[in-house]
Amino acid sequence: MGLGLANPGRLAASRWVCGVAALALWLGALSGLCADKTQRSVEAAFLYNFVKFISWPDARMDQPDRAVSICIVGDNVFGEMLDDIVKAGNRKGVRVLKLGQPSGVCHLAFISFDSKDESEKAIKYYSSSPTVTVSERDSFLEDGGTIQFFTESSRVRFSVSTAGLSARGVTISSHMLSLAAKVVSD
């Protein structure tokens, strides 16, 4: 149990190392970069975890290999981290797709664009399919997205909007919803 916490510890440690390195070198920018990277890793692990708690309609989403696709749409902010996590996980049938622009069949789409326009376009693109969209963008849920990451007390948390999900045949488990910081419904 304490050992379970060894895990967060290591991560926090990494951030700490980043912080020390940055301070030592007086490079504030590096600190930001490092923080960003570890935050991304945790977010990637969240994405991988979300798959367990979401059910998609069989008909529309069935791929020839029955795999679940997690798409990174826009800037690939995760590098290889999401691929590594998926590879390391015990679960079969999860695939990572890196897409510069909204396209393809995605079960879970992490949308990362600098411009709000492009982000909204991506939400719109996936809104007609049972794709669960995820982003860090502040107004993401208001714009029609489904899951938004944010940090609170230095921890990654998420809010969920269930608007329109049932119409698209997507169900998010009550367990996952119970862990969300906020759940917005129609």
Partner 1 sequence: MTRLRLLLVLVLTGWCSPVFSDERFEAARLANLNLEELMQIEVSSVSRREERLAGAPAAVFVLSSEDIRRSGATSVPEALRLVPGVAVARISSNTWAVTSRGFNGEFSNKLLVLIDGRSVYTPLFSGVFWDVEEVPLSQIERIEVIRGPGATLWGANAVNGVINIITKPSSRDPGFMLKHGSGNIDRSLTTLSYSGAESDELTYRVYTSYFDRSGMESPDGQDGADDWSKLSGGFRTDWKGQGEGRLLVKGDIYGANINNSETVITQAAQPFFSRHTDYRDLSGGNITARWSDRLSAESSYQLQGSYQHSRIDSDLFREIRNTFDFDSQLETWLDDRNQLIFGLAYRGTVDNEKSRGITLAFTDDKRSDSLFSAFVQNDLTLIKDRLHLIAGSKFEHNDYTGFEVQPGVRLLYTPDSQHTFWGSLARAVRTPSRVEHTVRYAISGLSGGLPPGAIFFAYGDEDYDSEDLLAYEAGYRSQLAPELSVDIAGFVNSYSGLRTAEIASPVLDPARPFIEIPGILDNKSDGRTAGIEMAVNYQPLDYLRWRSSFSLLKVDISPDADSSDPTGSAAEGTDPEHQVQSWLSVDFGHGWEADLIMYYVDSLPAAEVPSYVRFDARVGWRVSRQLEVAFVVQNLFDNGHKEFRDATSFVEAQEIERAYYGLFNWRF
Tell the smallest beta-carbon distance from residue 22 to partner 1 (Å): 7
Of the CA atoms within 13 Å of residue 164, those in its CB half-sphere come to 17
d(CA 141, CA 22): 34
Residue whose token pair is 């020390």: 20
DSSP 87-112: HHSS-SSEEEEEESSS-S--SEEEEE
Cβ closer to partner 1: 38 or 129? 38
d(CA 148, CA 58): 25
Q: Bridge-partner residues for 88, per DSSP?
A: none
Tell the smallest beta-carbon distance from residue 78 to partner 1 (Å): 10
Q: In Å, what is the CA distance from 14 to each residue of 2, 36, 167, 179?
A: 18, 12, 42, 25
Cβ closer to partner 1: 66 or 87? 87
Tell the smallest beta-carbon distance from residue 113 to partner 1 (Å): 22
Cβ closer to partner 1: 50 or 126? 50
Cβ closer to partner 1: 44 or 111? 44
Cβ closer to partner 1: 83 or 118? 83
Binding residues vs partner 1 (CB under 8 A): 1-24, 28, 30-35, 37-39, 41-42, 44-46, 48-49, 52-53, 80-81, 84-91, 151-157, 173-179, 181-183
Q: State which H helix or E strand residue 69 sits in.
A: strand 68-74
Tell the smallest beta-carbon distance from residue 36 to partner 1 (Å): 9
Tell the smallest beta-carbon distance from residue 123 to partner 1 (Å): 24
Q: What angle do CA 66, 69, 72 make, to 5 degrees?
A: 170
